[in-house]
Amino acid sequence: MPALWIAHVHVTDADAYGKYAKLAGPAIAKHGGSFVARGGKYVTLEGKERARHVVARFPSVEAAEECYNSPEYQAALDFARGASERDLIIVDITE
């Protein structure tokens, strides 16, 4: 069953986070992920305000988890740690 990887991000160090983004995209693609939304216009109706929102579609929850735990993504994530406040979830798509 397909899944969505949904990240809500507040960037605190744009240079370091830019390095994360440059590496994260290829890691996500390697694991079958494709971006549905990456930045762009948004409206916060409830919850904590985060200025960046990213949604990627994966073939399954397992594929998204494998991506997150992969050496490639973890190398990218090293740049995001300390450069952002993030919430990241993976959820099945019910079709």
Count the domains in the chain.
Answer: 1
pLDDT band at 39 (very low <50, low <70, confident <90, very high): confident
User: How does pLDDT run across 44-75, given as a tens digit for each residue?
Assistant: 999 888 999 999 999 999 999 999 999 999 99
∠ Cα 62 49 81 (to 5°): 55
> Do 5 and 88 meet the contact criterion of CB atoms below 8 Å apart?
yes
Mean pLDDT of 4-26: 95
Euclidean distance between CA atoms 31 and 68, whole angstroms:
9
Q: What does the pLDDT read at residue 95?
A: 75
Q: Which helix (H) or strand (E) holds 55?
A: strand 52-58
The percentage of the chain sitting over the pLDDT mark of 90, rounded to a whole number, equals: 89
> Do 8 and 85 meet the contact criterion of CB atoms below 8 Å apart?
no
Measured torsion, CA atoms of residues 13, 16, 21, 24, in degrees rounded to the nearest 10: -130
Q: Give residue 43's domain range.
A: 3-92
Provide DSSP, 13-60: -HHHHHHHHHHHHHHHHHTT-EEEEES------SS---SEEEEEEES-
Q: What does the pLDDT read at residue 86?
A: 94
Whether 83 shows a pLDDT value over 90: the answer reads: yes
- For residue 30, the domain's CATH number is 3.30.70.100
Q: Which residue has the tokens 């390697």?
A: 30
